Structure 1
């Protein structure tokens, strides 16, 4: 998700045998490991279509819940120095990794910026393009490279990253991030097992998807004059389609984007997903949809078929899988009525 003014999205190796195992595992996710027991570990990993050499980071700064969740899910808490969490993010106490958040430093509730990263003495920054990294705010991977600070971008956000674009479906991008971060930090096996588990959960959902025509679904992020919604390049599109629905804006080759209310009305969504922010409660958005003449007669509004999706279930991160399972259960129950 793009940033808003309101806030809103080497260690030594232990022997040649371990080195060989790491090299073998890294090959599976497009990484190349170099080094020996007496040298710093380096690995070459794809970053948005660009091959980048990393040494194992020790003071990572992560931006937003999705970045932190990826690190925590991989068991990399000790490598995280701190996190930046704008107001749009729900409280960390609600996270499955609440304990891990307590073990690292809260750095800021503002947008990511270069001064913060330098002051934190970070050796690695994890964020998305236009969701953390930004030309306008002067914090890009190239700028950090010049400062000697490593960086990694969410693959989902590479779609519109200038110079080295990379495109893959949102859930595939999540898996790629976990595998690539696993290579950067030397936890390839943990990453492989995590991804395998997520894929199994997704497959189970798809097997249970309701039969018949997909339910037309509109994701309402924000906006009153024009709604902000999800195109085909962000996780909610996969959440909707894997659960058995159809994103009414799946034909938009975009990430998060503005549309017109006329397009929403014409699509006649039967379900509306409300993206729930910490600073823009779902209840307020639902009330607007009920009271606005443009949307009050939509089938989903008339039937009050609203599904609330947590912010961190909608941006790229492990909680996408939780959001999928919850929405899939909602659709199954809706079809059963």
Structure 2
């Protein structure tokens, strides 16, 4: 049995892979954003398939850890006014960019809303579609456009954004976001360097993936009557396949979605990834899977083959690559022990 929490590794800087250390060190120093005197020059950048004109933001508001981490990884802390962090999100003190969070304002622990953004004097809002931006809650890029507030949506979330569809694989969405944010803030070289470092780390994992048939893996987010899981359009799908596994629901052309317990049983997963976030600890989810007569006999449950993935390693974020490296290590150790 190998059960591992996928939080930030407690290792000294000297033990970090050079590329990893390089990216985290880059995050600690501010990027030099080039601006013309007075008003910044405008640039045109894609936003979910739509050409949008941006000027360099000075008071960005970010929603959830993935949005903040993308800007922090590019050295843009000075351009972030504050962040909104729902309580389910793990503590920001656990982030590789904990020091950067300390430098910006905590704006609230509720869902993103228009009043908060306006009150903060935001000139850019960074969030995902249906993960921050929402028609139902009256905060969409179109509404913000009408208020003169710029917005940026995670490319991974554009898959089901109405009217402006854009479809890329989840990790490609991460790279695309960093490159586009680099354009918006005028730090293209910095973005290119960060993306190159992430790609190098991903390629290193893929080269070391175990040989043989991919291990069937089920991601358990939540739910007792019906499980909530990852389809093909969210980062865990790429984490699983790059590490040498196969998401048992990769055939679902969805982002996060509900399935039936019967379909989980039919898939017979050998490993279960538990997505860990604040309002339901991973240990409770594991205990449910062990105690439920529906899932107690799954191969992964019988073997106690659970891997705990931090929430911010599962949503679109530079930390996706941290999660990938840890999960790949886990699969290799299981293969060696088996």
Q: One fold, TM greater than 0.5?
A: yes
Query: Within 5 A, what are the aligned runs for 1:111-130?
Result: 111-130=111-130
Alignment of 1:17-32 (within 5 A): none
Query: Paired residue for 1:91?
Result: 91
Instruction: Give the count of matched residue pairs.
Output: 303
Tell me how far 1:279 sits from its aligned partner: 1.4
- TM-superposed CA distance for 1:40, in Å, is 2.6
Identify the residue that residue 147 of structure 1 maps to in structure 2. 147
- Partner of 1:81 in structure 2? 81
Which residues in structure 2 correspond to 1:150-229 (within 5 Å)?
150-229=150-229
How many Å separate the matches in 2 of 1:245 and 1:148?
45
* C-alpha distance in 2 between matches for 1:144 and 1:288: 42
1:41 is displaced (CA, Å) by: 1.2
Q: Secondary structure at the match of 2:168?
A: coil
The equivalent residue for 1:11 is: none
RCO higher in 1 or 2 (8 Å CA, sep ≥ 6)? 2
Partner of 1:286: 286
For 1:55, the equivalent position in structure 2 comes to 55
Counterpart of 1:10?
A: none
Distance (Å, rounded) in 2 between the aligned partners of 1:276 and 1:282: 5
For 2:16, the equivalent position in structure 1 comes to none
CA deviation string 1:54-82 (max 9, x = no partner): 00000000000000000000000000000
- Measure, in 1, the Cα distance between the counterparts of 2:222 and 2:38: 53
CA offsets per residue over residues 126-170 of structure 1, 9 Å max, x none?
000000000000000000000000000000000000000100000
Q: Distance in 1 between matches of 2:323 and 2:229?
A: 17
Instruction: Determine helix, strand or coil for the equivalent of 1:81.
Output: strand
Unpaired runs of 5+ residues, structure 2, are 1-34
| 1:146-205 superposed Cα distances (whole Å, 9 cap, x missing partner) | 000000000000000000010000000000000000000000000000000000000000
Q: Structure 1 pair 98/36, CA: closer, same or farther in 2 (3 Å)?
A: closer
Q: Distance in 2 between matches of 1:40 and 1:207?
A: 43
Q: 2:305 maps to what in 1?
A: 305
Q: Deviations over 1:231-281 (max 9, x none)?
A: 000000000000000000000000000000000000000000000001111
Equivalent position of 1:274 in the other structure: 274
Provide structure 1 residue ranges, at least 5 long, that are not aligned to the other structure: 1-34
2:134 and 2:163 map into 1 onto residues whose CA distance is: 14
Q: TM-score, normalised by structure 1?
A: 0.89
Post-superposition offset of 1:37: 6.0
Looking at structure 2, the residues matched to 36 and 71 of structure 1 have their Cα atoms a distance apart, in angstroms, of 21
Instruction: Give the TM-score normalised by structure 2.
Output: 0.89
Residue 38 of structure 1 and its aligned partner are, at CA, apart by: 6.8
Distance 1:66 1:125 in 2: 13
User: Partners in 2 of 1:134 and 1:140 — Cα distance?
Assistant: 6
Q: Decide whether aligned partners of structure 1 residues 137 and 38 sit closer, same or farther in structure 2, where only a CA change above 3 A counts.
A: closer
